[in-house]
Amino acid sequence: MPDQSLLGRLNRWARNSVTLKLFVIGILILLLLIPASMVTSLIRERENIRDEAVREV
């Protein structure tokens, strides 16, 4: 039964740990930067294509 009490303490620590919550939020922010940068690069690429088309005409 000591495993259950250890799991219970670990569970309580994870629920109350501000550091763990901040760490998880930081990881989520970093993961969400990937699609944001992909969208930004797509916008730049399309702007370049538009500018090339305007120059050709």
Q: Is residue 37 part of a domain?
A: yes
Cβ-contact 14, 20 below 8 angstroms: yes
Give a yes or no: residue 12 inside a domain: no
Q: Which residue range(s) make up the domain with 25?
A: 18-57
Instruction: Judge whether 1 lies within some domain.
Output: no
The per-residue pLDDT of the chain, averaged, comes to: 92
Which amino acid is residue 52, in one-letter code? E
Predicted structure pTM score: 0.63
Single-letter amino acid, residue 51? D
* Residue 23 located in a structural domain: yes
φ and ψ of 32, to 5 deg: -75, -15
Digit-coded pLDDT (tens) for 5-21:
888 888 898 889 999 99
Question: CA 10 to CA 24: how far, in whole Å?
Answer: 16
Q: Is residue 45 part of a domain?
A: yes
